[in-house]
């Protein structure tokens, strides 16, 4: 299913259910993601796939930087605009509609870059990584958050959750969340079967690539520095 269609009905309820369906871990993962960046007041960070602007708000609050949040879903951005205004951050966070595959920015434009749950939705993750690296100034930090596949004893529990629990819980919430609940498990599995994220990043011209698995591997944060 097309990502724009998938996210269209989710904006108003996204934050509440994303937290619930990740057992409350999602905000903690975002905080770790944001802590990887080395930015302060006077810097500008690009947050790609910003959705309802949760990462953008955390970035602006934590470091005092300016943030440009980009997403291809008008519905998610609409909720994002409301959240940014409610947080009193409209002067430092700008939200724009656009796609990660063709960023509307010059080379070397940003002092930091974050993206969350993006690579499962693009046709060519390697090309998208090169496009993200292009707009980052050399030496600046890029960091991403993605769902992971736990290993060892946690794996069977994860399989049970994504095969049965998540589709069922999603169906209880709404038809839109039922689609997400059924789509997520196979989509997460496929990303990690097809790609070694660290290799993907290095091939895009990112150095010092590091990875941290969080919550038994249910979340993965990858970060590095543009060469």
Ligand X SMILES: C[S@@+](CC[C@H](N)C(=O)[O-])C[C@H]1O[C@@H](n2cnc3c(N)ncnc32)[C@H](O)[C@@H]1O
**DSSP 3-state assignment of 101?**
coil
Nearer to ligand X, 150 or 219 (CB): 219
Size of the site for ligand X (CB under 6 A): 21
116 binds ligand X (CB under 6 A): yes
Burial 140-162 (b: 16+ CB within 10 A, else e): bbbbbbbbbbbeeeeeeebeebb
Nearer to ligand X, 3 or 198 (CB): 3
Kindly list the distances between the CA atom of residue 177 and the CA atoms of 38, 119, 205, 217, 226, in Å, as whole numbers in the listed order: 35, 20, 36, 23, 36
Tokens of 52: 């309802």
Residues 6+ apart with CB under 8 A from 91: none
Kindly list the distances between the CA atom of residue 201 and the CA atoms of 34, 127, 186, 222, in Å, as whole numbers in the listed order: 18, 11, 22, 9
Q: 134 with 107: CB under 8 angstroms?
A: yes
Nearer to ligand X, 100 or 136 (CB): 100
Site string for ligand X, 159-198 (x = CB under 6 A): ----------------------------------------
Residue 41 Cβ, how far from ligand X at the closest point, in Å?
A: 23
Residue 205 Cβ, how far from ligand X at the closest point, in Å?
A: 20
Residue 103 Cβ, how far from ligand X at the closest point, in Å?
A: 9
Q: Where in 42-101 is the site for ligand X (CB under 6 A)?
A: 49-51, 54-55, 71-73, 76, 99-101
Residue 37 Cβ, how far from ligand X at the closest point, in Å?
A: 15
**Interacting span for ligand X (CB under 6 A) from 86-94, 102-110, 111-119, 198-206:** 111-119
Residue nearest to ligand X as judged by C-beta position:
51
Residue 6 Cβ, how far from ligand X at the closest point, in Å?
A: 8
Quick one: which of 52, 173, 191 has its CA closest to 129?
191
Q: 210 with 223: CB under 8 angstroms?
A: yes
Residue 152 Cβ, how far from ligand X at the closest point, in Å?
A: 26
Q: Where along the sequence are the contacts to ligand X (CB under 6 A)? A: 3, 7, 18, 30, 49-51, 54-55, 71-73, 76, 99-101, 116-118, 121-122
């Amino acid at each position: 299913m097309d990502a724009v269609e998938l996210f269209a009905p989710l904006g108003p309820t996204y934050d509440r259910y994303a937290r619930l369906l990740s057992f409350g871990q999602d905000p903690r993962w975002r905080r770790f993601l944001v802590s990887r960046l080395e930015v302060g007041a006077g810097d500008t960070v690009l947050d790609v796939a910003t959705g309802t602007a949760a990462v953008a708000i955390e970035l602006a609050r934590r470091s005092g930087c300016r943030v440009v949040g980009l997403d291809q879903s008008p519905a998610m951005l609409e909720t994002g605009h409301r959240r940014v205004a409610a947080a009193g951050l409209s002067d430092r966070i700008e939200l724009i509609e656009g796609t990660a595959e063709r960023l509307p920015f010059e080379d070397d434009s940003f002092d930091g870059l974050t993206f969350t749950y993006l690579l499962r939705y693009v046709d060519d993750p390697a090309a998208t990584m090169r496009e993200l690296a292009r707009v980052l100034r050399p030496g600046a930090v890029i960091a991403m958050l993605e769902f992971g596949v736990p290993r060892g004893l946690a794996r069977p529990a994860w399989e049970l959750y994504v095969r049965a629990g998540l589709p069922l819980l999603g169906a209880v919430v709404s038809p839109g969340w039922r689609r997400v609940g059924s789509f997520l498990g196979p989509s997460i599995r496929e990303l990690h079967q097809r790609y070694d994220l660290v290799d993907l990043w290095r091939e895009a011209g990112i150095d010092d690539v590091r990875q941290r698995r969080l919550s038994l591997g249910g979340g993965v944060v990858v970060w590095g520095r543009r060469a």
